[in-house]
């Protein structure tokens, strides 16, 4: 799986990216919404993990962009604000976590996406 982590806080970005790599996936990082859009237009991603409070293009706007251009990308939204989690979900995030979150929640969300993707591919092949 190719994962894009969009997080303005360097420490959180490093923890998420390192964890996703340890799970065996490829990871790119973006520190703001515009950089994320550039990366999305230049590479293929299966999952985007985005914070709601990123600069230039915020998390909900990024979710809307992704869902309008790349419908098959699974979006994991994260935020320290409950209202922002609702905004992320309303904008198209597939699952949202409140900061601080248990990193294992992210692994389970990624594993769930892999399982769903595998079952879809199996159904298409049948």
pLDDT single digits (tens) 28-45: 999 999 999 999 999 999
Query: What is the arrangement of strands in the sheet containing 95-98, beginning at the earlier edge strand?
Result: 26-30, 2-6, 47-51, 74-79, 95-98
Cα–Cα dist 23/44, whole Å: 19
Structure tokens at 17: 């990216």
- Please give the pLDDT value at position 119: 54
Q: Within its chain, how far is the Cα of 27 from the centroid?
A: 11
CB 78 within 8 A of CB 97: yes
CB 23 within 8 A of CB 110: yes
> Which residues form the domain of 40?
2-125
CATH number at residue 14: 3.40.50.2300
3-class DSSP state of 4: strand
Measuring CA to CA, which residue among 71, 75, 28 is closest to residue 51?
Answer: 75
> Total structural domains in the chain?
1
CB 17 within 8 A of CB 27: yes
Q: pLDDT in tens for each of the 126 residues of the chain?
A: 999 999 999 999 999 999 999 999 999 999 999 999 999 999 999 999 999 999 999 999 999 999 999 999 999 999 999 999 999 999 999 999 999 999 999 999 999 888 877 654 433 333
- Please give the pLDDT value at position 123: 36
- The mean pLDDT of the chain is 91
């Amino acid at each position: 799986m190719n994962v894009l982590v969009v997080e303005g806080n360097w420490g959180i970005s490093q923890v998420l990216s390192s964890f996703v790599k340890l799970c065996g996936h490829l990871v790119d990082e973006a520190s703001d919404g515009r950089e994320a859009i550039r990366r999305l237009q230049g590479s293929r991603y299966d999952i985007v993990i985005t914070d709601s409070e990123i600069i230039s293009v915020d998390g909900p706007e990024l979710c809307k962009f992704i869902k309008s251009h790349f419908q098959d990308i699974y979006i994991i939204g994260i935020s320290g604000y409950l209202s922002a989690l609702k905004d992320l979900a309303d904008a198209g995030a597939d699952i949202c976590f409140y900061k601080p979150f248990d990193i294992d929640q992210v692994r389970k969300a990624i594993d769930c996406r892999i399982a769903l993707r595998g079952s879809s591919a199996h159904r298409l092949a049948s």
